[in-house]
Amino acid sequence: MAGTKGQVGLTLEKRVSDTYTRNRRKRRVFDKKMLLQQHVNPYELRAELCRRSFYHFVLEFWDVLEPAPFQDNWHIKYLCDEAQIVMERVFKNIPKEYDLIINIAPVSLKSTIFSMMLPAWMWTRMPSAAVIGASHSENLAVDLSRKNRAIVKSEKYSLCYPDIKVALDQDAKGYFINTKFGTRFACGIEGDVTGRHGHLISIDDPINPRKGRSEAEIGNANVNIKETLNNRRKVPMVTPIIMIMQRIAENDPTGMMLREWPFPVKHICLPAELTADVKPVELRKKYINGIMNPVRHPKEFLDTEKGQGEFYYAGQYLQSPIPLGGAMFHVDRFQIESKAPKKWRIRMRYWDKAGTKDAGAYSVGVLLGKDTEDRFWVLNVVRGRWDTNTRERTILQTAKLDGKAVYVGVEQEPGSGGKESAENTAKNLAGFRVRVDRPTGDKAQRADPFSTQVNAGNVFLKKGRWNRDYIEELRFFSLENSKYKDQVDASSGAFKFVSKPVIRAGGWK
């Protein structure tokens, strides 16, 4: 019995000891948790979530910039994720896959995301990052930089990232530095960026969307993007350019980069209404009843904006430099036929000449005819950039191929030089029926009669390799928007003569 009692007592003592040990371990864990809670920044978890997700950062820091409640839409997370994909390669210092272009309607948070939030988020992952932010005016660029700085200097940002602060000795709205040597520099599209280089070059509205339809402004923006900002990359094969803008013209910076850029480009196009221009195409299924963002751009609002003008609405909201269906020419009404009629009332090859080789405008000869049913046909286009001698040989050779039944029209440019050039071409075409034309009025006025027939569906195209370039030039044609007008000018000139009732030896009836 004594042995049994001793054994029971020993077991009880051990159980008490074990319980004490377990409780002591629990107290140690509890004490450790309490100790950690006393010393850890309560914003640390929030900061880490923001580091991992740029979209989460935008949500978290929205109230720093905007007192109004955040209104989400699918495109916001999509754009944030696309920006993060691009920047992750910068953080890892590996070559970029592409530069990024985003065309999106106004009041879609594009500047908030890319010009204000993105640089501030970059510093949470790469505090030494350098950012160059360019806009159509220095004032706009500085204002975007100021709002970016407001995030970095906010109490919330300081609590989340206490080691990242704006340096006291360089704290200007347009240029500030953090204590980890990261920089944010703002400039106008034509501003001086000598000596500046960025891990990110952000271009936000390189042309004022409400004013920038002049060819000179578009040309200056394109040159500065290609020749200046493109060379301000910190690491040429790593640093991305992200450009966000509304479409302005065929040859605006978006058009220029899509055609001429030396690096691959990813193009994101989000019109306010569902159109064939949505890119990537899989995003079309995201539209709700045909609207990209029904909260900010309900149909009633968009219908009101359409009253501002076709070109305004196309550029601002449809992200197209032309209205739906075409500008002056509704090219969807062309009828393309593989065979042309054999009998004609009249045919003319009209030449719009240029004298620059391998650059600038084209020399164009458009062959246009009217058949016996009074339908108009564009039968062929000869187009090239030639020096003067090559151009004159081409005009003569083309006339021989067309035959003497085809009239040859030659545009005479203003001034004595234009007169002399037209006369030389006419002499070179001795034996052919040549008409020298001295056009009056602007290009749109001269094109209007031809466009009327195109839009009425009374112009046919003979199927050929030239069709695509011809249709695209007419699609984009306008005084303000189009890059090339040579084929339109030649067509207008030919139509002026071909539309006349009868041609006689003494002249036009």
One-character DSSP codes across 260-322: H-SS-EEEEEE-SB--TT-BSGGGGGG-BTTBS-TTTS-HHHHHHHHTT-HHHHHHHTS--SS
Nearest to 120 by CA among 89, 94, 93, 83: 83
The identity of residue 261, as a single letter, is W
Specify the domain boundaries for CATH 3.30.420.280 within the chain: 331-508
The helix/strand/coil state of 84 is: helix
Name the pLDDT band for 178 (thresholds 50, 70, 90): very high
Say whether pLDDT at 366 is over 60: yes
The identity of residue 257, as a single letter, is M
For residue 37, what pLDDT is reported? Answer: 55
Specify the domain boundaries for CATH 3.40.50.300 within the chain: 47-316
Greatest alpha-carbon span in the chain: 147
- The percent of residues in the chain predicted with pLDDT above 90, rounded, is 67
Say whether pLDDT at 505 is over 50: no
- For residues 6 and 41, the model is more confident at 41
Q: Which helix H or strand E contains 286, and what residues bound it? A: none
Q: Give the model confidence (pLDDT) of 58-68 as tens digits.
A: 999 999 999 88
For residue 35, what pLDDT is reported? Answer: 46
Q: Which fold has domain 47-316?
A: Rossmann fold (3.40.50)
For residues 404-427, one letter each, b for 16 or more C-beta atoms within 10 angstroms of the residue's C-beta and e for the rest, the string is: eebbbbbbbbeeeeeeebbeebbe
Q: Give the pLDDT mean for 217-229.
A: 92
Q: What is the mean pLDDT of the chain?
A: 87
For residue 47, what pLDDT is reported? Answer: 93
Poorest-pLDDT segment among 4-8, 170-174, 414-418: 4-8
Number of Cβ within a 10 Å radius of residue 220: 16
Number of Cβ within a 10 Å radius of residue 19: 10
pTM: 0.64
For residue 210, what pLDDT is reported? Answer: 67
Number of Cβ within a 10 Å radius of residue 331: 21
Say whether pLDDT at 137 is over 50: yes
- Cross-sheet strand order for the sheet of 459-462: 335-337, 459-462, 376-384, 363-371, 344-352, 407-411, 434-437
For residue 394, what pLDDT is reported? Answer: 95
Nearest to 422 by CA among 435, 434, 412: 412
Q: Give the model confidence (pLDDT) of 323-355 as tens digits.
A: 665 567 888 899 999 999 999 999 999 999 886
Say whether pLDDT at 9 is over 50: no
For residue 449, what pLDDT is reported? Answer: 87
- For residues 159 and 307, the model is more confident at 159
For residue 272, what pLDDT is reported? Answer: 96
CA–CA separation, 219 and 201 (whole Å): 20
Say whether pLDDT at 256 is over 70: yes
Class for the domain spanning 331-508 = alpha beta
